[in-house]
Structure 1
Amino acid sequence: MRRLALSLIGLLALLPLASAQTSAAKPMLAATPPMGWNSWNWFAGKVTQDDVKQAADLVVSTGMRDAGYVYINIDDTWQGKRDASGVLHPNEKFPDMKGLADYVHSKGLKLGIYSSPGDLTCAKFEGSLGHEQQDADLYASWGIDYLKYDLCGFRTKLDAEAPGDKLKQNVMMRDAYVKMHQALLKTGRPIVYSLCQYGFDSVWQWGPEVGGNLWRTTGDVRDNFPSIALIAETNVGLGKYAGPGHWNDPDMLEVGNGKLTMDENRTHMGMWAMLAAPLLAGNNLTKLTPEVTGVLTNREVVAIDQDSLGKQAERVYQEGPVQIWSRPLADGGRALAVINFGEDTTFLRGIPLHLKEAGVTSGMKARDVWAAKDLGAIKDDYKVALKRHEMLLLRFSK
């Protein structure tokens, strides 16, 4: 066990040098949180090549691309079988992956794909175990720009080879992610690397060392407000681990899905922006309403998410159902979110803003982002009233 741990440490020690050499020649990958659309939340295993093409068309026509949503990501179930040489072929739902990538690129967009370090993926399709370099080369030859690498199918191997030994399992998990990272680097193609392993072993502490540009901090998001609130709670205190090139990932956006109200959609979107989260929409683009489109493409909210300083918000106040989160911005200003996580249907009134704790200094002027309204200089006694699951999102500027 000690030998395994030392071998991993030795490998990781080489990565900063490799990263430094790479960054000198190429722009940083994921300098701001990636934005795009992912097939899983809406299509799950039914996604086809035509669905992906249509998604690309709609991301353009709805204005999402111009708002920053550039990745069109295929999730699980695209894989077919390997040939005698071990080369993986797409299944009948994706007859021409290179042609699909070319089509997506022609729209000014980028294409993402999905795999697992295990023999099989979550949906029991071909994984990349033992074929990491082959698969990375294949993705590069197609023109893939983003890889979501899901631990799901690797758990069987962990349980079989290290039953009950969490330390050994964690070393194996890190080794598996390093292996694909090295394979991606060898292709010479810039491919954003998304670690999907649900926050196991405090991934935020070691994600950059294994090459991750983003890593999941929680289990899967669901299209209901309790799920969104739980994920927000789970990300408390993780801000110091996020920054340009490496981001905490609270999972995809459910904006427009399920029975989320418009207040809940705005709170969900605003919370992810405060968390400097990747913004990967997971909705049915064929049924986008103007209201949902407006939430996803709100330029001021997206600007907070994409702020170049790359500092994730932290919670600075909580009392009962009310939470206040504060995020420093590159222009010296602050983004401040006041959220009513409560279930009571009556208004919460007279909520103090706690501006000093939030880092808002005297003379800063406030703007209500969702209302698109300038408020001027305000104080703690600014009249705040919030409905159930509503967010007040303020941007303070010097």
Structure 2
Amino acid sequence: MKQFSPFLLLSFASANELAMKPPMGWRSWNLFGENVSQSLLESIMDHMVSRTRSVDGVPTSLCDLGYCDVGLDDNWQACGSYSDSHIPLNFHDEEGTPQINFDLFPDMKSMTDYAHSLGLTAGWYGNNCICREHFTHDRRFYEGDVKMFIDLGFDGWKLDGCGSKLDLQLYDELLTAAGVEAVVENCHWGMRIAPPFEPTLDWCPWNFFRTSGDVRANYASIMGNLKSTYKYADSLLSRPGCWSYPDMLEVGCSDGPGGDIDKGLTSEESRSHFGAWSIISSPLVLGMDVRNATVMDAVWDVVANKEAIAINQAWYGHAGGPFKSSTDRFTTLSDVNPAEVDSGVLKHRGLKEYEEALKETGSFRTPDWQYLYKPLSDDGSKFAVLLMNSRDEAADLVLDFTDIPNFKGGQVSVRDVWERKDVGDFEGSMTVNVKSHDAAFFTVSVV
């Protein structure tokens, strides 16, 4: 397994030198879908800083834990607001200025000001999917987007893949020329078509990049999207300032815009999902209704687990990924095939290249069990490990410590991340019983 020094990798992080740790926050799509507005977003902002719950007896907000960005995810634009007989621009005018739906967002600048007054950052959304555009690839439309982004006071944005403005390098150059720093999400679903949407070891004009289609609130979708990140960790393309991202967290989400496939997660699946996104250094972007006390009570111990978050935010030369798995496959995952789900969405968007690529992957069936790891030291003396059980029944999973890549050997001390308590000292291996669709999460430190 290739591994570089954490200091060497800093030299080829994203050019803007932001997001040196995986970004954390909240975005609107999984909760509101198309039915979003300024008043709804501001109500979310209030609850991101509310200290109505505690960690270790201390009143703690989501922002206190690191979730300090609130992002808008489509449908702010005035669709069909400009067109002529030759060029249907949809929501940009002829000069390149995007048009806002003022019925939904009467004063976006006051919204970003409100976020800043609460100690939050605000995320915008571009290259939109609702009323996507086909004739706005001229430079003036990029310039119009960047000018409005600056004028409205946003701190970052999600650049989706539906419209015709696909040159993320140009966006980066315009922001740099304006002297503006912005955390940028490249949301092009793991495509490998021109223009390039994957980073190289010395090029990354964004801060995190989607590796998959949209994740949905079911276990099959989560496991399929998780798998899409593995190659980027192994090739060292997921690193500080340029993180691979299998989409937003579905913890606490159900009955979302995916319809029947957004049935929601069990408590075990939520824990497995959050643990997986934590150990692979994915950005942690929430989408549940933070205003709903019942929802928050159900997921608080997961999303507020400081030890899991600390593992996510750590960097010691490798983003995290699998190191051992069963040769048997859990076949019932084919009941909901993320490739087929996303294919339907993408066919509607007209992205035939990605649709065909998804079909080639077949079902995202996953091993009966798989083990993921992430180094937590430079010298092979400490690791995080996640033991995932995808079977329909509980299973005894055996962790042989010598299987962990770059493990230096010897007796180890094991700590349970979920329970936040020490388990004990072991030598050679340990066995743990893991429930169906659950994951055991440990740190392993050489004594």
Q: One fold, TM greater than 0.5?
A: yes
1:67 to 62, 65, 68: 65
SS in 2 for 1:193: strand
Q: 2:96–2:143: 8 Å Cα contact kept in structure 1?
A: no
Q: Partner of 1:103 in structure 2?
A: 114
Q: Does 1:268 align with 2:262?
A: no
- 1:311, 1:210 → 2: CA distance? 17
The one-letter code sitting in structure 1 at the alignment partner of 2:137 is: L
- 2:298, 2:224 → 1: CA distance? 25
Q: Partner of 2:432 in structure 1?
A: 384
The one-letter code sitting in structure 2 at the alignment partner of 1:348 is: A
Instruction: Give the 5 Å matches for 1:171-250.
Output: 173=166, 176-201=167-192, 203-206=197-200, 209-239=203-233, 240-250=236-246
2:325 to 318, 325, 335: 318
Q: 2:207–2:242: 8 Å Cα contact kept in structure 1?
A: yes
The one-letter code sitting in structure 1 at the alignment partner of 2:441 is: L
Q: Partner of 2:357 in structure 1?
A: none
SS in 1 for 2:230: coil
Give the Å deviation of 1:380.
Answer: 4.3
Q: 1:352–1:380: 8 Å Cα contact kept in structure 2?
A: no
- Bigger shift: residues 252-261 or 285-294: 285-294
The answer to which structure has the higher helix fraction is 1
Q: 2:251–2:273: 8 Å Cα contact kept in structure 1?
A: yes
The one-letter code sitting in structure 1 at the alignment partner of 2:246 is: P
Q: Partner of 2:86 in structure 1?
A: none
- 1:205, 1:289 → 2: CA distance? 36
- 2:202, 2:75 → 1: CA distance? 28
- Bigger shift: residues 218-227 or 286-295: 286-295
Unaligned runs of 5+ in 2: 1-10, 52-60, 79-90, 255-263, 329-367
- 1:388, 1:90 → 2: CA distance? 46
- 1:264, 1:52 → 2: CA distance? 27
Q: Partner of 1:289 in structure 2?
A: 296
Give the Å deviation of 1:126.
Answer: 6.2
Give the Å deviation of 1:233.
Answer: 2.0
1:37 to 26, 38, 53: 26
Q: Does 1:86 align with 2:90?
A: no
For the structure 1 residues 387 and 200, does the alpha-carbon distance in structure 2 shift closer, same or farther, using more than 3 Å as the test?
A: same
- 1:139, 1:126 → 2: CA distance? 18
- 1:207, 1:145 → 2: CA distance? 26
Give the Å deviation of 1:318.
Answer: 0.6
Give the Å deviation of 1:203.
Answer: 3.9
For the structure 1 residues 38 and 142, does the alpha-carbon distance in structure 2 shift closer, same or farther, using more than 3 Å as the test?
A: same
- 1:208, 1:280 → 2: CA distance? 26
Give the Å deviation of 1:89.
Answer: 3.3
Give the Å deviation of 1:207.
Answer: 8.8
TM-score, with structure 1 as normaliser: 0.82
Sequence identity percentage: 32
Unaligned runs of 5+ in 1: 1-18, 158-172
Q: Partner of 1:352 in structure 2?
A: 398
Q: Partner of 2:137 in structure 1?
A: 129
Alignment length (residue pairs):
351
Q: 1:242–1:310: 8 Å Cα contact kept in structure 2?
A: no
CA deviation digits over 1:91-138, x for unaligned, max 9? Answer: 12111111111000111110001111xxxx211156863311221121
- 1:190, 1:197 → 2: CA distance? 21
Give the Å deviation of 1:363.
Answer: 3.4
- 1:383, 1:357 → 2: CA distance? 14
SS in 1 for 2:99: strand
- 2:172, 2:197 → 1: CA distance? 15
SS in 2 for 1:238: helix
Q: Partner of 2:341 in structure 1?
A: none
Q: Partner of 1:328 in structure 2?
A: 375
TM-score, with structure 2 as normaliser: 0.74
Give the Å deviation of 1:30.
Answer: 0.4
For the structure 1 residues 271 and 231, does the alpha-carbon distance in structure 2 shift closer, same or farther, using more than 3 Å as the test?
A: same
Q: 2:156–2:182: 8 Å Cα contact kept in structure 1?
A: yes
